[in-house]
């Protein structure tokens, strides 16, 4: 299956990057290369793009799509959490912009065998990086009831998390849960009939939770943002597109902390902690898709874009 992914908030994020033609830019979630292509179009022959993704299918698709830009583009198979290390390996110490388009690509959702979708029966996989050995099947069949409850409650924000965890543990005593279809049946049985008819697919939140846990999506995001801001040149920007409240909350909080890192009590007349701002938040409120984009791409529905600009303090 061909890797297809319609980039969300594409114009808005490219505009927000304020691309310098001779600059160096990083697309930390390369996907099919949608954002990267638009960045490359705006670069001079001196400009450079580094594309990072952990999904082999994305690497192959983006390599084809960005081929016309030749050696201006460097594509690396890695997790964006390793961005600083990968850049150092290329002799790059700082960059002019970073873009992250988080979540699952259209390809990953549409390719049933990847096990991300609750719309078709497939093996319980959900790995963004298929070099990883642990799969969704391992989580579903090996986590304790308490661990499953925590994951589904915290990462899926699912009100029936306790009941779903109990049903999973009960079902797997009969047989190992192998497929998305088997898991969906268990989830449906755990949710009251009248509640199944509202709020979208009954398995949506649980699938999201298991995917986030398996791929450590929130930990990776939380542990990477400070590092990426630190890697920006003066005036450089980072644009992050999120798809659910948990991601958005982390980005909002991290940007706020980098704008105002002071830990002194409010009653102190002057700052004595010595923590200096790293820059400023550009988006006081997140940028959301236009009505036209929502009409053209239903997967843009919950997306939000937040932007931070690095400002290096002159001593």
Beta carbons of 19 and 235 less than 8 angstroms apart: no
Q: Provide the 10 A C-beta neighbour count for residue 305.
A: 23
**Measured in whole angstroms, how far is the alpha carbon of residue 226 from the centre of its chain?**
15
Question: In this predicted model, what pLDDT tens digit does every residue of 73-102 receive, in sequence order?
Answer: 999 999 999 999 999 999 999 999 999 999
pLDDT at residue 141 is higher than 90? yes
CATH class held by domain 10-107+217-310: alpha beta
Q: What is the pTM of this model?
A: 0.94
Q: Predicted confidence band at 314 (pLDDT cuts at 50, 70, 90)? A: low
- CATH 1.10.150.170 residue ranges in the chain? 114-215
- How confident is the model at residue 36, as a pLDDT? 97
- pLDDT confidence of residue 83: 97
Q: Does residue 315 carry a pLDDT above 80?
A: no
The domain 114-215 having CATH identifier 1.10.150.170: the answer here is yes
Question: What's the confidence (pLDDT) of residue 163?
Answer: 98
Please indicate whether residue 307 or residue 297 has the higher confidence score (pLDDT).
Answer: 307
In angstroms, how far is CA 265 from the centroid of its own chain?
A: 34
For the chain, residues classed under CATH 3.40.50.150 are 10-107+217-310
Residues 6+ apart with CB under 8 A from 206: 152, 156, 158, 164, 183, 187
**What does the pLDDT read at residue 11?**
95
CA-CA-CA-CA torsion sign (194, 200, 203, 207) = negative
Sign of CA dihedral 242, 248, 252, 253: negative
What pLDDT band is residue 4 in, cutting at 50, 70 and 90?
Answer: low
For the segment 281-306, what is each residue's pLDDT rounded down to a tens digit?
A: 999 999 999 999 999 988 899 999 99
Name the phi and psi angles at 64, rounded to 5. -65, -45
172 half-sphere exposure, CB direction, 13 A CA radius: 22
Q: What percent of the chain has pLDDT over 90?
A: 85
What's CA 52's distance to the chain center, in Å? 13
Which DSSP symbol is given to 192? -
Q: How confident is the model at residue 109 (pLDDT cuts 50, 70, 90)?
A: confident
How far apart are the C-alpha atoms of 240 and 168, rounded to whole Å? 34
């Amino acid at each position: 299956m061909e890797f297809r992914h319609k980039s969300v908030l594409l114009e808005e994020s490219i505009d927000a990057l304020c691309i310098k033609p001779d600059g160096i830019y990083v697309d930390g979630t390369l996907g099919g290369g949608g954002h990267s292509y638009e960045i490359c179009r705006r670069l001079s022959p001196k400009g450079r793009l580094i594309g990072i993704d952990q999904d082999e299918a994305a690497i192959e698709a983006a390599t084809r799509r960005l081929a016309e830009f030749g050696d201006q583009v460097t594509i690396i198979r890695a997790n964006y959490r390793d961005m600083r290390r990968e850049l150092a390996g290329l002799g790059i110490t700082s960059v002019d912009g970073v873009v992250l388009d988080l979540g699952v690509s259209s390809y990953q959702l549409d390719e049933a065998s990847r096990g991300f979708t609750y719309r078709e029966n497939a093996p319980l996989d959900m790995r963004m990086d298929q070099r990883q050995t642990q799969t969704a099947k391992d989580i579903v069949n090996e986590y304790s009831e308490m661990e499953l409850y925590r994951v589904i409650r915290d990462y899926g924000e699912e009100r029936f998390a306790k009941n779903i965890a109990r049903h999973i543990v009960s079902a797997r005593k009969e047989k190992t849960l192998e497929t998305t279809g088997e898991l969906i049946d268990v989830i449906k049985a755990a949710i009251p009939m009248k509640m199944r008819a509202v709020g979208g697919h009954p398995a949506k939140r649980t699938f999201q939770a298991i995917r986030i846990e398996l791929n450590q999506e929130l930990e990776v995001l939380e542990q990477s943002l400070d590092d990426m801001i630190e890697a920006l040149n003066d005036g450089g920007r980072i644009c992050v597109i999120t798809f659910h409240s948990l991601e958005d909350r982390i980005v909002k909080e991290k940007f706020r902390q980098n704008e105002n890192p002071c830990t002194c009590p409010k009653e102190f007349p002057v700052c004595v902690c010595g923590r200096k701002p790293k820059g400023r938040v550009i988006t006081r409120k997140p940028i959301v898709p236009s009505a036209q984009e929502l009409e053209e791409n239903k997967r843009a529905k919950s997306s939000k874009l937040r932007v931070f600009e690095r400002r290096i303090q002159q001593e």
